Amino acid sequence: MDVAQMGVMIPIIALMIPIVALWTKHQQKMAEMQVGSTAEQTAEKAAQYVGQIQRLEDRVQVLERIVTDRGYDIATQIEALRDQRRVDEDAGVPLGSASKERV
């Protein structure tokens, strides 16, 4: 490398140092913003999961109350509903056999 090339390279390198420093600061700020955004999204998802868990716990409590308050007669209640459905089905009139009035 001759003196003329060195004379050109020194100012170019001197000007590149602050440019690289600015670019590095910008990249650091972008990374910090991305971490903040990710943390915020994670907190929102955690809040949603807490709400879902609370609703499920409420449903389980209701089911436990049904089982413990009424005892174990749920099977008889289900059978009673099935018997009632059979009676309702037997009492119905098929659609094809209904008589139509002519006006």
Interior CA angle at 96 toward 80 and 86, to 5°? 5
Average pLDDT over residues 64-85: 74
Least confident of 7-11, 57-61, 68-72, 98-102: 98-102
- pLDDT at site 100: 52
pLDDT at 25 over 90: yes
The pTM assigned to this predicted structure is 0.40
**pLDDT-wise least confident of 10-14, 25-29, 51-55, 71-75:** 71-75
CA distances for 82 relative to 73, 75, 77, 89, angstroms:
14, 11, 9, 11
